[in-house]
């Protein structure tokens, strides 16, 4: 049984840890999106460096009992809407409430408008986010299905006024 779950900002010195976790994340996506390795044997995440060079992006580790359990990558849109760019829980830690707790923590840390999108092919993510956002908002969120060149899949939007500083 876990004693602590923490959401902590990722300092630049830990960029390589995030890079490795992103490899696991992208490997998981290969199942539903058909991603292939680049010729050098990695998947690569093209926006990695942007999380330390663009003020609109913020990276966070999810720690379970002080061990890496996953990450959250946030991006703020021009209109101030917070977006979950990437969200990952390592398989060992799934189905234990860690992902839900981490998502609720990040929502609380950034009150305001939110947008969460899932790929049309990622059915597990769609179920997870509908459940988490539905519980978090008491069902007060909107969902649309996008099917254009920019995005294919569900998009949930809601406004969070709860902000509980210090919860996480």
Task: Give the span between the Cα atoms of 164 and 32, in whole angstroms.
Answer: 35
Q: Torsion angle of alpha carbons 141, 145, 150, 156, nearest 10°?
A: 10
Confidence (pLDDT) at 9: 97
Report pLDDT for 33. Answer: 63
Q: What is the pLDDT of residues 99-138, one digit of tens each?
A: 999 999 999 999 999 999 998 888 899 999 999 999 999 9
pLDDT, residue 25, reads 84
pLDDT for 38: 58
Residue showing tokens 């999810």: 62
Q: Is 49 helix (H, G, I), strand (E, B) or coil?
A: coil
Q: Quick one: angle between helices 98-109 and 123-137, nearest 10?
A: 50
Residue 61's H or E segment, with its range, is strand 57-64
pLDDT given at position 147 = 84
Which pLDDT score is estimated for 80?
A: 95
Of 105, 65, 58, 102, which is closest to residue 83 (Cα–Cα)?
A: 58
Reduced DSSP (H G I as helix, E B as strand, rest coil) percent helix, strand, coil of the chain, to 5: 35, 30, 35
**CB-side neighbour CA atoms (13 Å) of 44:** 8
What pLDDT is stored for residue 132 in this prediction? 96
pLDDT of residue 168: 67
| Per-10-residue mean pLDDT, the chain, length 168 | 89 96 82 63 80 97 96 96 96 93 94 94 92 95 88 92 62
Quote the tokens at residue 112.
Answer: 């305001």
Task: Please tell me the distance from the alpha carbon of residue 68 to that of residue 92, in angstroms, as a whole number.
Answer: 11
Q: What's the confidence (pLDDT) of residue 122?
A: 87
């Amino acid at each position: 049984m876990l004693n602590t779950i923490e959401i902590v900002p990722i300092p630049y010195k830990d960029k390589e840890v995030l890079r490795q976790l992103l490899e696991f994340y992208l490997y998981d996506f290969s199942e539903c999106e058909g991603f292939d390795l680049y010729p050098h044997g990695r998947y690569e995440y093209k926006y990695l460096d942007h999380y330390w060079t663009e003020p609109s992006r913020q990276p966070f580790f999810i720690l379970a009992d002080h061990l890496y359990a996953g990450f959250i990558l946030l991006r703020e849109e021009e209109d101030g809407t917070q977006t979950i760019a990437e969200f990952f829980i390592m398989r060992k830690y799934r189905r234990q409430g860690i992902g839900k707790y981490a998502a609720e923590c990040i929502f609380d840390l950034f009150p305001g408008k939110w947008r969460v999108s899932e790929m049309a092919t990622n059915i597990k993510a769609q179920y997870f986010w509908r459940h988490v956002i539905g519980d978090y908002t008491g069902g007060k969120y909107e969902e649309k299905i996008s099917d254009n060149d920019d995005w294919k899949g569900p998009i949930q939007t809601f406004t969070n006024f709860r902000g509980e500083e210090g919860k996480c």
